[in-house]
Amino acid sequence: MGSLDDIDDLRDWLALAEKLGEVRAVEGAHWDKEIGAVSQANYQRHDPPALLFDDIVGHRRGQRVLTASMSNARRLGMTLGLGTDLDDKALVEALRSKPGEWAANASRYPVREVATGPVAQNVLGPDDIDLLQFPVPLWHEADGGRYIGTGCAVFTTDPGTGVLNAGAYRMQVQNDGRAASINIEAGKHGAAHVREWFAREGRAPVTASLGHDPLLLVVAGTEVPAGTSELEYAGAVRGRPVDVVKGEVTGLPIPAGAEIAVEGWLRPGRREQEGPFGEWTGYYSGGAEPVLTLDVERVYFRDDPILLGAPPGKPPHDYSYMRSVMKSAMIQDALIRCGLPGVEGVWAHEAGGGRQLLAVAIDQRYAGHARQAGYLAAQLPAAAYMNKFVVVVDADVNPRSLSDVVWAMCTRTDPAEDIETLRKTWGSRVDPLRERDAPPFNSRAVIDACRPWSRLGSFPRVAEADPALLDQVVKRWPDVLGGPR
């Protein structure tokens, strides 16, 4: 194994990441807060490696947890099959138009059902189920419990069409390890499936994979169009179908190479208190609520299984980089598709969890262009959920640099003139600003940080060296200046 084309499961992914020097082992950490804290300290580093926890306190060696799987450009590029030598900008460029192509091609890659697979090396029935036999972390200090599903893919079907959906919906261990609550927010495709099954059959079948090629986390955790199976979409990314085994109880698919998978039925009245949980906003903002709970009827796992962890929290968190890159490419594509000219770059900043703060760089073409870019970006379906700020900058400003974006705001935005607000927009239950029991509206600002259109020709010149001179001096004093830019 050794090429991007060979990744079919988490073991293949790890082998390649290890070969690239992208994985560090952490031995002897405790599942109780320590794995979470080590992971957090790692996300805050520049260019964090993936961490593979082993020898976890209270658990057999070999029962592992992986975090930070896609927290840098190299591993995300590797996961998406786009290359391992791209920087943030090149990764977004390489990704642009791909999500649309993958969705369009998905139906050419129906899953391939196989009789058995590594996930079925161990199968436990109801009498033997204990999810806490795995090293399930208590990720954050004030979490309401231990979350086995963070980097998970929860599979449901549309009972009418049979179309499969996968969503990354967090799963908290319940009832001493015999059950798991599944927190599917209203509006998600999985929630619609479950509602429909309840109406038709009084119960809803579910399978969930808890460790897999991180590509499955990308597709489950990203807004793939309704009606498109995320497993077929993953097949389109890989260029070959995903192998699945059929769940013994529900008949729903389970990725054949999954590390750990669970199966059972959700029932309308079967809920357990879920949360609080450290959310992607950086707060325990969702509180605790009764949430639909799966009485697990089968657990499948490989020998020495690896749990794929992806805990959110105050950014940067486990998947904030992945979300930033995916959102940036999708929003840039959507702006161009709707006919906006002069789009030079988009970056969905990690500080806003990849949702709340967008920077859009444009080459200003006409009066009103900057505001148009801002209003459109703030309301595109790919961007509207939980956006708070869209900052529109000129093409000479790097939208990926928070410092450059803030500098443009400080010097090109007249606050009284150039900040527009939109009200009653699409917010979230987990917004820390939402008042208790209030509907999840929010408001947002479009900040025009472009040079004023009427002064484009006369705006003061930026006080910085010409790029050609900069290149020249960097080449001349490489030891002092760190080599070519």
**Interaction site with ligand FMN (CB under 6 A):** 150-151, 165, 167-170, 183-185, 188-190, 220-223, 310, 319
The residue at minimum Cβ distance from ligand FMN is 221
Angstrom distance (rounded) from CA 191 to CA 175: 23
User: Nearer Cβ to ligand FMN, position 15 or 103?
Assistant: 103
Shortest distance in whole angstroms from residue 80 CB to ligand FMN: 14
Residue 39 CB, shortest distance to ligand FMN, in Å, is 13
For residues 145 and 151, which CB has a smaller minimum distance to ligand FMN in the complex? 151
Residue 417: count of CB within 10 angstroms of its CB: 9
Query: Residue 441 CB, nearest distance to ligand FMN (Å)?
Result: 18
Q: Shortest gap between Cβ of 444 and ligand FMN (angstroms)?
A: 19
CA separation, residue 250 to residues 156, 204, 264, 304 (Å): 10, 9, 7, 25
Q: How far is the CB of 184 from ligand FMN (least distance, A)?
A: 5
Q: How far is the CB of 168 from ligand FMN (least distance, A)?
A: 4
Tell the residue number behind the tokens 């959310």, with chain if given: 279
Identity of the residue, 310 or 331, whose beta carbon is nearer to ligand FMN in the bound complex: 310
Q: How far apart are CA 107 and CA 324, in angstroms?
A: 27
Radius of gyration of the chain measured on its C-alpha atoms: 23
Q: Which is nearer to ligand FMN, 220 or 357 (CB)?
A: 220
- Residues 137, 135: Cα–Cα separation, whole Å: 6
CB-wise, 157 or 398, nearer to ligand FMN? 157
Which tokens belong to 316? 């940067």
DSSP three-state, residue 180: strand
Please report, in angstroms and rounded to a whole number, the separation of the first and last CA atoms in the chain: 34
Strands (E) located in 117-217: 122-124, 147-149, 153-157, 164-167, 171-174, 179-182, 204-209
What phi-psi label fits residue 258: left (phi over 0), alpha (psi between -120 and 50 degrees) or beta?
beta
Considering the complex, state which of residue 36 and residue 345 has its C-beta at the smaller distance from ligand FMN.
36
Cβ at position 330, least distance to ligand FMN in Å: 11
Which of 18, 223 has the CB closer to ligand FMN?
A: 223
